[in-house]
Structure 1
Amino acid sequence: MLESVPPQVAAQARLLSLLRLLLLALGLGTVTLFAAGAGQRAVGALEEARLLLVLVCVAAATLAVSVSWVKARWQLALHLVFDVVWIGLLLHWTGGVGSPGVVLLFAVVLIGNLVLPGYMRFLMPSLCGMVLSVVAAFYLSDRAPFDAAQVAMPDLFAPGRVLGNLAVQIAALFLVDVLGGQLSRRLLESRVFAGEVLDQLGEGVIAFDRHGQVAYANAEATRLLHLPTPPLTGTPAERALPGPQLQAVRILVAAERLPLLQRWTAPDGRQLVIRVTELRNRHSQPIGRTMILADETRLRLLEDSARRAEALAALGEMAAGIAHEVRNPLTSLRGCAQELAEDAVRHGRSDDARLAEMIVAESDRLGRIVGDFLELSRMRPPVKGEIELEPLLASVRTLAGAHPALPPDCGITLDLAKDLPCILADSDQLRQVLINLMVNGIEAMHGRPQPRLGLRAHLAGEDNPLEVAAVRLSVIDTGVGIPREQQERMFTPFWSTKPQGTGLGLSVVGRIIKEHEGVLRIDSEPGVGTEVVVFLPVASQTRSFKRALGGG
């Protein structure tokens, strides 16, 4: 079945045009060898063979100029059919199956495996075998362009020799096709493996050859530079990096002094670090250069997350000591205040009772702070397992819907993408994180018109700060919002926007996400609402070689 060719078809067509020059050189050598053996007794056949080579040269030049028109595999196959036909005519005028030019058919079979790997198996050896059979039939039926007496080569016309050569050559063609197919497939698999490894890097990579043409570009480079299509192999840098926005990148690629390192702002505002280095072979000779692009925005997110985690760890150790020292005297203080309150009530001292009850209430609040301290410092390591998000998020939505502070006119939406992969997490801790964020959203919407609370789960896209496939969980509310200058402090222990808040809830959330190798981010606008986003890696990811091996 005929199918569209992947983007590398243009490079394959150019390669075929170059290899055709090799075939023409071999064809000229064939005519020269035959002329040396046949002498001047086959002048007519030699003149026709030379004329054929001239015509093929003209056709090859035309095909080379129109190489950009090749858009599908079948067009590449037609190019090879053209080569088989003119080689067959050359064999007819230079000795049939006994011609030294038979080697050209073997070259065509190898070229077919090189430019059309795995496509229409056995097509080229079958076609070459048919051409050889037709040529042999002409010689066996005395329809050759000369007779045996003219060239003094009786073996060219002997039926036994002709049929024997034909059988051996056809078998050899299929053997070469099988071996060439295996070699080309191994070469392709190694290239695909290397390409997949580079595609999984968190950095963009573009390699240029010594002529400034693209030799390789991974998907991350295409994404970071916002290129409409991946740069094609063999494309000059000026065309691979088009437009005035990428002029600075083109200047870096063409720089004379290497290596160099420079920061650059991408069209979407991302801060990229571009590193250009020279490629050298084992003899230290320059063979090209590589450009590596790193998304500094992503790195900064990860660094901020790491710094917050270190701060939480240090404060957690301090919290354990404080909590143990405060809890015992606090319990005694609360007990005494409770007895004073009860005694004041029995003797009718209302002012004393009110003051004692205030001490009890504040002791309870201090007790909650101590409890949060202990929770932060004694947090157990997560017990991770594969978790399906749909039932987990449904239970979180149910719990949030039963919260007493939820406004009666507030709707809770659950937006769950289809076929979400499982994540590797501790279900209890992840539920704690989501409920904490939902409760914060509920409290932020107190007194707000048209309160809305949402819970979303989708595969992470271009904003994914992790280096692997991840799920993007987000809690969205239409509350009061958080000023930008306060957003950086939201995960700082003891800092809270709530009058009665301890400032430790989000600290616990941040530590749990850190233990799960995730990233936490807040997007908020005062007066509009807040979105808290959690990125968590999926449980597993399967990479496939279908893109290159199957062509789809």
Structure 2
Amino acid sequence: MTRRNGKFPDDQNFLLISCALSVTCCSILSTTLFGVAYLNLAILPAFIGILYSSFRSGISLAAFFLFCNILFSEPAGLCNLVLNTGIVLYPLLFALAKPFKNGTLMEKIGLLWMVLLPGMLFVGLVPILDRNARDYKLNSQETLVITVYIFCTIVIGALFIYFIETAWDRQQAKEHMKRLSQNFLYESEKLQQITDVMPLSILSLDDNGTVTALNEFMLELIRNHYPEAAREDIVGKPIKRFFDHSVDEQVGLRLLDDIARMQRYNEKVTFESRSYLVCTAPLVHQRENTAGGMVLIVQDLTEEEKMRSELDNVERLTLVGQMAAGITHEIRNPMAVVRGFLQLMREKSPDELNSYYQLVMEELDRANSIINDFLSLAQSRVSHKERVPLHHIIEELSPLLWADANLRGQSVELRLGPALPLLELNVREIKQLILNLGRNSMEAMGAKGVLTLETRHTADRVELLVRDTGSGISESQREKLFTPFFTTKSQGTGLGLSLCLSIVERHEGSISVESQEGVGTLFTVSFPYDSEENARFAVAE
């Protein structure tokens, strides 16, 4: 038996202490029964304690039993001490201790009787041996007293074994039930935690369609449509109260009907513009094979359907882009031939036709520029990057930007931050990015407009800011600004900013727009960088 409480002895030690106290009391109260037999039942708790205890504890109890007999037993003498304690039976008693502990109730009673009966015979013979055996004859009354005395002792011993075993069985059953209750509580809590972390909304119902339990996801789902709902407002309420007019009437009736009939149900339900996959299944008591309610599982498919729709659109656009890229690539070749022959025809034509040839060639160049932008946007090539300072790229482009600005009557300001870290950039693509953003800003401004290029860096990012003083962009236009073929210009293609976004994404950066109508627009391009890598590179340099 295990120790249940560290402040008290375990069951076996408690039994030994009780046996020792019983031995003491029995020895103190020992007497002679009707002057015939020596009445001392101390042998009974002594033998029971030795059989139940370990070898060391049994030796201690046997020694204590001998000590009590020396102090209290009558008549005195070595012979009487040997007979009263049954010491000659101790080897047999310790030999039977192990099979006694492993035996059944009847086996334990039988083993106790095996050693108790000889011991009681010895006790019964003590008064007879104390007299003169030649002059004394045992009459029938004395024989009856001794027989009843021995019989009662054996019966009491059997009852003691029965009560001890019954008490221990009850205690073990109590401990077993306690462990089962603890395990059940632990498993219930574990199951509740599992259902709470699963990305599924789970709700259980009884046979009458009343809510009995729900997990956190189901609670949040219900609160999306009933913000004031608490767990106490849901548990114990019928499930049908949560299906109102927002659910399709036929779907709701079919779901409630399947719940009422304890049948499986699996269907997609639309509820307040959101899509859910609703599944129900009956619960069954395994042992009794009877209905045990229903479980309702709801999975929100709204985001998945949006993502699936977007992926489908992306796949279609990718296919269209690949086809268009191939077509436009083939268009450039005949356009180049046409432009070449136009130049030859222009040389052999009268001067008054030069304006017509010039107009046709400009339109061909414009079409070729559109094709080049489209091909750059459609191609998903890998950018070959090198570690370069962003300032060098801006300084190389600044004469071209100033020239364009002068033609428009505008100005360009450079505000380059100090000690800018090196970046992994594709120089050609970054030049195209800066030119597109700069020219877009110039086209959005009138005369005397100011284009500002500014650089700065934070702990892990370098930012390029392109600011203009144009008319600004409305909020509705900002939402579509990077959409291919969307433009606010009469002569624009709508591919410039889309190309800029593609370049920034290939550099693992980001681009954002801030604009205020009548004030101007700010494009912020952010590039990531590794501060530790830059420090190592600087030391190497």
Normalising by structure 2, report the TM-score.
Answer: 0.40
Higher relative contact order (CA 8 A, sep 6+): 1
Query: If you compute each CA radius of gyration, which structure gives the higher value, 1 or 2?
Result: 2
Normalising by structure 1, report the TM-score.
Answer: 0.40
